[in-house]
């Protein structure tokens, strides 16, 4: 997506709420996480640390099964703003999963588990969270092909027909029997009258 399309598609995503102890949200990350500066909840002004550095947070958009009955266009997407105690919980969860970080397609669950001690009197106690994270599965079909090769079955090898046996050589005709005198006149002279009659001579 371009930055304009990011703004178009992510704008108006309602924030996840952790108003009561035990509140939880779980969903699939739909967009690359975005680092941004925290803003004052009342005025919207950017927040900074005493040294002037911006207070930062990570915005993650989750696809959840939550729906607001009063909003017919609610598609279940919720923005989670990861900061303070939630930041630490999510970091621990990501490290435990072995993933390099939050990724599109990963499943993130965050639960409001308790309250800590205020850093000074008059402040609200900081919320404490627990989180779990499951990286995306090894991949889409495209990644499966990329990592595992073409998954289509290999064509069966062509059947090799055995070569037909060579025809046996036709035996050469036998040579004429030996014993016939080469001198025809001498042979005729040796015939008896009966043999001559039988041959029509």
| Per-residue confidence (pLDDT) for residue 153, from 0 to 100 | 47
The residue among 59, 60, 141 whose CA lies nearest residue 107 is 60
- Give the residue carrying structure tokens 């105690």: 85
Torsion of CA 38, 44, 45, 51, to 10 degrees: -30
CA 111 – CA 127 distance, rounded (Å) = 10
Which positions of the chain have pLDDT values less than 50?
1, 140-154, 174-182
CA 173 – CA 143 distance, rounded (Å) = 73
Query: Are the beta carbons of 23 and 15 closer than 8 angstroms?
Result: no
| Per-residue confidence (pLDDT) for residue 176, from 0 to 100 | 47
Q: Where are the alpha helices (DSSP H) in 101-179?
A: 141-148
| Per-residue confidence (pLDDT) for residue 147, from 0 to 100 | 42
The 3-state DSSP class for residue 15 equals strand
**pTM (two decimals):** 0.62
Query: Are the beta carbons of 59 and 83 closer than 8 angstroms?
Result: no
Report pLDDT digits (tens) over 52-104. 899 999 999 999 999 989 999 889 999 999 998 899 999 999 999 999 999 99
The 3-state DSSP class for residue 131 equals strand
């Amino acid at each position: 997506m371009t930055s304009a399309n990011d703004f178009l598609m992510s704008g108006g995503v309602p924030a996840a709420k952790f108003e009561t102890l035990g509140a939880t949200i779980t969903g699939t990350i739909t967009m690359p996480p975005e680092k941004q500066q925290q803003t004052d909840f009342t005025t919207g002004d950017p927040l900074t640390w005493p040294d002037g550095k911006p207070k930062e947070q990570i915005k993650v958009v989750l696809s959840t099964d939550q729906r607001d009955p009063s909003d017919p266009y609610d598609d279940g997407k919720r923005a989670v703003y990861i900061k303070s105690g939630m930041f630490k919980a999510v970091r621990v969860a990501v490290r435990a999963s072995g993933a390099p970080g939050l990724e599109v397609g990963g499943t993130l669950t965050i639960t409001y588990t308790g309250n800590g001690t205020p850093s000074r009197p008059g402040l609200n106690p900081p919320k404490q969270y627990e989180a779990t994270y499951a990286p995306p599965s090894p991949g889409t079909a495209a990644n499966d092909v990329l990592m595992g090769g073409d998954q289509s079955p290999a064509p069966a090898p062509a059947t090799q027909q055995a070569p037909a046996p060579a025809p046996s050589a036709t035996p050469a005709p036998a040579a004429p029997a030996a014993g016939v005198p080469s001198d025809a006149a001498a042979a005729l002279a040796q015939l008896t009258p009966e043999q001559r009659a039988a041959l029509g001579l």
